[in-house]
């Protein structure tokens, strides 16, 4: 089973901006980045509906959420280690 490729938002933005410049055809850009032309067209059609979120307040919120999730995960891991050590030491 082949795992699907996932692309970063920065890569997608770079490709869409290049498509919007129209210096090359969609097929040429897709070939350049080793994508299927329909994928670039899909990203291009999604871009206008999501472009307004770029300038919305709190745009960095997902990054903060990821940071919080990582910290909660670390706290949980440390709590498990403390509980394990308490069992081992008999306290």
Nearest CA to 66 among 74, 57, 54, 78?
Answer: 74
pTM over 0.95: no
Given a cut of 60, is residue 61 above it in pLDDT? yes
d(CA 8, CA 17) in angstroms, rounded, equals: 14
Percent of the chain with pLDDT over 90: 52
Average per-residue pLDDT for the chain: 86
């Amino acid at each position: 089973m082949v795992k699907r490729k996932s692309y970063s938002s920065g890569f997608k933005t770079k490709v869409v901006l290049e498509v919007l410049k129209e210096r090359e055809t969609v097929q040429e850009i897709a070939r350049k980045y080793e994508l299927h032309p329909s994928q670039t067209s899909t990203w291009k059609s999604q871009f206008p509906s999501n472009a307004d979120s770029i300038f919305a307040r709190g745009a960095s919120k997902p990054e903060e959420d990821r940071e919080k999730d990582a910290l909660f995960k670390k706290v949980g891991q440390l709590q498990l280690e403390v509980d394990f050590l308490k069992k081992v030491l008999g306290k």
